[in-house]
Structure formats: structure tokens, C-alpha cells
Amino acid sequence: MSVVDKVETTTEQREKLRMPRMSRRQLLLTIMPVAVLVCLVGAISIANPNFLRPASIWTVLDSSVPLLILALGAMLVILCGGIDLSVAALASMASVLVALWVPALEGWAVVLVVLVCALAGLIQGVVHVVAQIPSFLVTLGGLAVWSGIALVVSGAATIGVSGDTLAWTFTRLTGWNIPSAVLIGAAVVAVLGLVMLLTPVRRWLIAIGSNEPAALLAGVPVARTKIGAFIVSGACAGFAGVMLVGRTYSGAPTLADSLLLPVVAAIVVGGTAITGGFGGVGRTVIGVLIITVLRVGLSVAGVDPSYVQIFYGALVIAAVALTIDRSKLLFVK
């Protein structure tokens, strides 16, 4: 009996010791991204006051939409502790498929492409869950497969899109000149946010990311939730590919490949921990805005675009180092 008591007291004490540290960390992860965003916007508007004019704000938001849609999907997978490295390649494949199918199927091509990409996500999720292969490896393999498919069906060429089937992705609506892409991005954020708010999905994802065996024992449908996260991630990648085609009037097998690092950077900079169990839609929106404003800021500051890659790499490492939950990592592999 006494042994049990001792154990309980020590766990209680440890709990007490731990609580303030944990919540301080979470508070930091909540305030930091917002503070960084405010500082960045402030710095750029001092350097160039034109930045705060509606026209340039709309342009910045407009350019961030494909990144936003990609990041929202990938965030769900990271939230349950995995990672989806295939999103950028999947968006490239989607761009090729849209460009190929629009002449025949008109608007239905968009629906079909999103479904195909959701299917790709489903395959990755099922392989990850059923064969119990680490998600980074499954999606790395997926990355190669989707790029291969994109190369084969496009013949490694850029495919132009004519007509105005996809004009809705990239126009300005009358009145305040609001870009349609921003409204679409806001709609995706609203839908995902409402699903997270009104259904138990958010709690399931966080439970899986925090402690998977405990979630399983508590009756959380672990396998289905994980596969669902991969499906949504795939569908978002497909939709982001469509948005990119609307912007460039062409699909290409490597169109979105350079977006992988910005996506991961946006998610972790927003405060979502790469270890899972902590994060959300709002944080990802903040993260995407930080990355977009940074990109604008770097060009305002006159930084050579060649340096941007170095910058993203350093940013990802620094952000992961800051946001990672080390109490979960016994051994870092």
C-alpha cells in the first residue's frame, strides 16, 4: 500500500512541477507567431509605407492561397504525429491532370482531380496504417510515385490551359477588388475550422498525436482518423494544384515541387509541433502569413532570390528546434 502511495505522491508532485512549464511553453507557442507576424508587417511598412495599402495587402494575401491550402491539409497529418512529404509533388501532379482534363471535362475536371488526389492520400494513409511504415517514408515513396506519374502523363512538358474554365480561381471581385482566391482560401479555412470546432475530430487528432496507445485504449478510431488526415491532405494538395493552374494557365510536372519546404516551414513557424498533439487551423494561417510576408520582406529588403532557399532551410531547423516537444522524445533518431 505504502509503495502505491509513494508512487502516487511522486507522480502528483511531478505533475505539479510540470504543469507551469508545459503551459508556459504552449503560451510561448501561441504568442510568438503572432508577435513575429506583427513585427514583420511593422518592419516592412516602415521600410516601404506602400505595403499597408489595400491593393498590396490583397496581392500578398492572394499569393499566399496555394501555400495556405497545402499547409492546412499537411497540418492535419502533422497534428497526429506523422508528416506528409508528398503534398508538393501531389499538387504538381494535380496541375498536370487539370491541364489535361479541362478541355474535355470543363469544370468537372476540378472535382475529378481533387478526388484522384484524395485517393492518392487514401493509398498513402492505408499503407502507413496497415503496413505500419513510418509516414515520412511512405510519403517519400509517394512523392517519387506522384512525380513519376506527372512526368509520364505530361511527357515532361508544360501543358498550357486556354479558355476561362478556371478563371474563378484568379479574378478580382467588384467592390473592394477582393481576389477570389482569398475568398476560396477563407472558405477552406472556415470549413476545416468548423469541422475541428463542431466534431470530435480535433480531439481525436490531438489525442493520437499526444499519446497514440492511450488514444487507442480510450476508444478513439485511430486508424480511421489517421487515414482521414491523409485523405484530406491529399485532397487539399489537389485543390492547391488547381489554384496554381488557374494562376499560371499551365500545368507542369514540377510546378509546385518547390513549395514543400515553405509548407513545412509555415506549419512549424505557426507553432504546430512536429512531434504532434499541438497545433491547429488558426496557427497554420498565421504561419502561412509569416512565410508570405517574409518572402515579400526579403524582396523589399533587396535580398537575392538565390538566398531564399538557404533562408527556408535555416528557418525550418530553427522553428522545429523551438516548437518541438522534447518530453516526448526519449531517443531522437
Partner 1 sequence: MAPARLGQAPPETGRAPARSRRRASLLADYGPLGALVLLCLTFSVLSPQFATWGNLRNVLDSAAVLAVITVGLTFVLMLGAIDLSIEGVMATAALSVALLIANTRNDIDLGFLAIVAAVALGACFGLATGLLSTGLKIPSFMTTLGMSAIGIGIATVLFAGVQPSVTSPAMGEWASGQWFGLTRLTFVAIGVVIVGLLVQHYTRLGRYARAIGGAEDLALLSGIRVRRYKTIAFTFAGAVYGLAGVMVTIQLGSGIVQAGVGQNFAAITAAVVGGTLLSGGRGGVLHSIVGVLIVTVLVNGLVLIGVSPYVQGAVQGVIVVAAVAITAWPLRQRLRVVK
Taking the complex as a whole, the smallest distance from the CB of residue 50 to partner 1 amounts, in Å, to 29
Compute CA distances 278 → 27, 121, 242, whole Å. Answer: 12, 22, 29
Taking the complex as a whole, the smallest distance from the CB of residue 311 to partner 1 amounts, in Å, to 7
CB 289 within 8 A of CB 34: no
- Is 132 or 162 the residue whose CB approaches partner 1 more closely? 132
**CA dist., res. 91 & res. 112, Å (int):** 14
- Where is 239: in which H helix or E strand? helix 222-248
| Strands in the chain per DSSP E | 159-160, 172-173, 178-179, 250-251
- Where is 104: in which H helix or E strand? helix 87-105
Question: What residue type is assigned to position 315 of the chain?
Answer: L
Taking the complex as a whole, the smallest distance from the CB of residue 284 to partner 1 amounts, in Å, to 17
- Is 276 or 279 the residue whose CB approaches partner 1 more closely? 276
Taking the complex as a whole, the smallest distance from the CB of residue 256 to partner 1 amounts, in Å, to 16
- Is 146 or 239 the residue whose CB approaches partner 1 more closely? 146
CB 271 within 8 A of CB 283: yes
- Is 7 or 156 the residue whose CB approaches partner 1 more closely? 156
- Is 149 or 294 the residue whose CB approaches partner 1 more closely? 149
Taking the complex as a whole, the smallest distance from the CB of residue 24 to partner 1 amounts, in Å, to 19
- Residue 71 phi/psi, 5-degree rounding, is -65, -35
Binding site for partner 1 (CB under 8 A): 81-83, 127-128, 131-138, 140-145, 147-149, 151-152, 156, 212-213, 216, 261, 264, 274-276, 304, 306-317, 320-321, 324, 326, 328-333
